[in-house]
Structure 1
Amino acid sequence: MTHKKSTSTSAKLLYRPIGLVSGVASGAVAGILFKQIWKLASPSSSEDTPKALESEFPLRQIVLAAAVQGAIYATVKALVDRGGARAFERVFGEWPGD
């Protein structure tokens, strides 16, 4: 049985600004990545990503774009969060979560 050492309050507080910055960065990267993927995979000739209130796109295309965008965002955010937590642990010796 593995015993995990609980994270100190100071480690959680110290990681908070790092987590906020990495969250903003991962959102920006995910947005850029989604736009590039959508340009390649888009069923229409438009380079714009469909938005819910734009009438020129069919609902099916809007829902597909939203699902793809959500999957990309969640994946990029998980990768950045995990990488940031590992880097924090290497530098400070404590895992910032849990």
Structure 2
Amino acid sequence: MNLLYKPIGTVAGVLGGIAAHAVFRQLWRRAAGQDEAPAATSPDYGWREVLFAAASRARCSAWSKHRSTGAGCSRTTG
């Protein structure tokens, strides 16, 4: 079962990243009312919006990677 841990973990991590991106886009649309989050180099937004977007994106990614790789693989592979 240890041979399956890395491939399953990799696939779960990629799927978790895709899910995190989708969750972040939905959260951003509801919170800010905009389709796209501001980029760090965008002159149209202030520090507050850019930092909030970066922190929210990082939190969604960290949560999904934690849940998909650790918990999912340990349940799947035993």
Equivalent residue in structure 1 for 2:39, among 48, 51, 58: 51
Task: Say which one has the larger Rg.
Answer: 1
Q: Distance in 1 between matches of 2:50 and 2:9?
A: 30
Task: Please identify which structure carries the higher helix content.
Answer: 2
TM-score, L = length of structure 1 = 0.71
Equivalent residue in structure 2 for 1:71, among 55, 59, 64: 59
8 Å Cα contact 2:5-2:73 kept in structure 1: no
Identity over aligned pairs, percent: 32
TM-score, L = length of structure 2 = 0.87
Deviations 1:15-34 (A, max 9, x none): 11111111111000000000
1:67 maps to amino acid: A
Matched residue SS, 2:43: coil
Deviations 1:31-52 (A, max 9, x none): 000000000001xx53211110
Matching residue of 2:27: 37
Greater RCO (CA < 8 Å, at least 6 residues apart): 2
Specify every segment of 5 or more residues in structure 2 that has no aligned partner in the other structure, as ranges: none
| Segments ≥4 residues shifted beyond 3 Å | none
